[in-house]
Chain A
Amino acid sequence: MPNAIKTYVRCVDAVNRRVGKFALYLVFVMMGILLFSSISRTFFDVPFNWTMEMAQFTMAAYYLLGGGYSMQLKAHVRMDVLYERWSERKRAAVDVITSMFLIFYLAVLLYGGLSSTLYSLTYGQRNYSSWGPPMAPIKIIMVIGILLMLLQAVAVFFRDLAKARGKELV
């Protein structure tokens, strides 16, 4: 494997690990926002109209930014009736071919995300709700998450390619 690819894989792994470790704690942000909303409404009779959407946006950031790291954690299940019976090397070889499908899906997802974000930026799109926040910021975060997932999928592809050729990519 050329050194450029090795460097790429190492970099992507490192970036996604850091972003993922950050995303881990977003679950506390969601919890905090919702607790704040219920406490302020119940005890102080002060309802807020932004809490639900804010929590919801946090969740989108959570699973999209955490996506690449979740790939590293091997969180994504496979239909492995046959898969589990194959050797390491055969699995890697099949994965090399089928990760093209994964990469294609993520690319289409990224394309849709970019075009939707551009639309939001151009027309200053706001959410249909009483709070009506601008949609561009959250969409940008989502696109970053999808991009990181795509980069990770490509890194995984290289790793599998190396493994299929009988080598380990560090």
Chain B
Amino acid sequence: MSNEYIALLMFSTLMLMLVTGQRVFGAVGFVAAVSALCLWGGTGAAEMPFNASIGLLNWYPLLTLPLFIFMGYMLSESGIAGDLYRMFHVWMGPLPGGLALGTIVLMVAISAMNGLSVAGMAIGTSIALPEMLKRKYDKIMVTGVIQAGSSLGIMVPPSIVLVLYGMIARQPVSQLWLAGVFPGLLLAVLFGGYIAIRCKLNPELGPPLPKEERQMPMKEKLQLLYAGILPLAIIFSVTGLFMIGVTSLVESSAVGAAAATIAAIAKKRLTRKVLDNTLHMTLSVSCMFMWIILAALCFGAVFDGLGAVKAIEVLFLEKWGLGPWQVLIMMQVSYILMGMFLDDTAMLVIVAPLYIPLIISLGFNPIWYGVLYTVTCQIAYMTPPFGYNLFLMKAMAPPEITLVDIYKSIVPFVLLMCFGLALIMMFPQIALWLPEYYYGT
């Protein structure tokens, strides 16, 4: 029983620390370091925080993180993503809630250009959010839209989370990526439907663009449509090259970053200021991310050393004597619970090696489970108190959006994601049809 007490102690200490407002990485790292020293003492425990950095050093897919962040900022700072947004703005603006719907479509496009939700969040908060706030869209709804939309980044290829899953489950990444396509679109359609219905019922949430703003000659409208072509080319230079096997996964992130830079040069938008902002934002966001992951990995190692994960396994199979579907559902629930306070990549490394063999031996399809896992991660990303998206959103959003607004905004979208998750569970073909069609298995 003492293990459970320690886990509880760690969790409550962490809560207390975070309420004091210290930097998250400092709070997480401190609790991890102190717990390691108290529990095990000696040199080995004192080295645990640093060992996490060696773990990161040998984790190649993580290289895609700064490069995709760079790419995302390059696209937003140079205004290329802005062109894309303006295209949706003009074409979808007349609908009630049209800008929010356009944002969802934009997010799907951006998700196809990067493997994490960071870039989508950056573009969403820097371009779409101010535009929507200016046009009196409901603050809480649009915050939710951007978070839910950007979380598609880990579902639509190229997805970092599916790469990590593929490594652990020993499944081909390309099949996993294909499996993520339709579930990603399904979620986007669910979000879009929700926005459309809510704005139809209550037009104040998302007023249509005033007439004078959308009167624009057809020629200009078509020119804007043309602006969408460049991002499409970038999407294919990243995902396409990887899918046909020209570049490795990590290389394709470098190709994408270079393609975004070249696109900015070609459009004569790569000024000193754009480059400077991009580099500073890339460093800020990468450092924030990497230092949190560093601390969270150490926290996870302590948690793991306490045998918390093993305890869950014993609990499921022996103590509760659950059937296959019950185990699956329990796993999803436990992922969401753990995702609240563990980094999802650390979680994948700690929990997945225990869960995945169990899933395969129970007769479930590992590719399909990868998709379920990813949707669950999306949910865990967004659930308080430790969702990464929540922190990112707070870091990037204008100051009038408080953390409480962010917490409120995600509720309907988390419910929609749970619904989507249930659909994919009931109809595995949503995920499996495309990879089976493509690879003929």
Contacts and interface: CB of A to CB of B under 8 A. Distances in A.
B20 A105 contact: no
Interface stretch (B202-210, B344-352, B391-399): B391-399
A158 interface: no
A15 interface: no
A35 B251 contact: yes
A38 B248 contact: yes
Interface of B: 17-27, 29-30, 32-34, 37, 43, 46-51, 53-54, 56-60, 62-63, 66-67, 70, 246-248, 250-251, 253-255, 257-258, 279-280, 282-288, 290-291, 295, 385, 391-392, 394-395, 402-404
Interface string A16-37: 0000100111010011011101
Contacts of A86: 21
A45 interface: no
Nearest to A34: B254
A105 B49 contact: yes
B26 A59 contact: no
B70 A27 contact: yes
B24 A77 contact: yes
Contact of B30 (A56, A95, A105): A105
Given A30-B66, A57-B57, A70-B287, A81 B19 contact: yes
A75 B395 CA distance: 8
Contacts of A20: 283
A73 B295 CA distance: 20
B41 to A, nearest CB: 13
A161 interface: no
B402 A84 contact: yes
A91 interface: yes
A60 B53 contact: yes
Given A52-B250, A98-B22, 9 more contacts: A20-B283, A52-B63, A56-B63, A76-B25, A77-B23, A82-B19, A95-B22, A109-B50, A138-B57
Contacts of A146: 50
A94 B295 CA distance: 21
A104 B255 contact: no
Contact of B257 (A31, A83, A84, A102): A31
A7 B47 CA distance: 32
A100 to B, nearest CB: 9
B46 A111 contact: yes
Contact of B21 (A42, A80, A104): A80
Interface residues of A, number: 61
A159 to B, nearest CB: 14
Nearest to A149: B291
Given A69-B283, A105-B295, A115-B43, A82 B21 contact: yes
A138 B50 CA distance: 13
B403 A24 contact: no
Contact of B288 (A30, A42, A75, A127): A75
A111 B46 CA distance: 7
A63 B286 contact: yes
Contacts of B23: 76-78, 102
B33 A108 contact: yes
Given A63-B291, A99-B22, A38 B66 contact: no
B282 A27 contact: yes
Contacts of B247: 38, 42
Given A52-B250, A81-B19, A116 B47 contact: yes
Given A70-B288, A80-B394, A80-B403, A109 B25 contact: no
Nearest to B399: A84
Most buried by A among B51, B58, B253, B385: B58
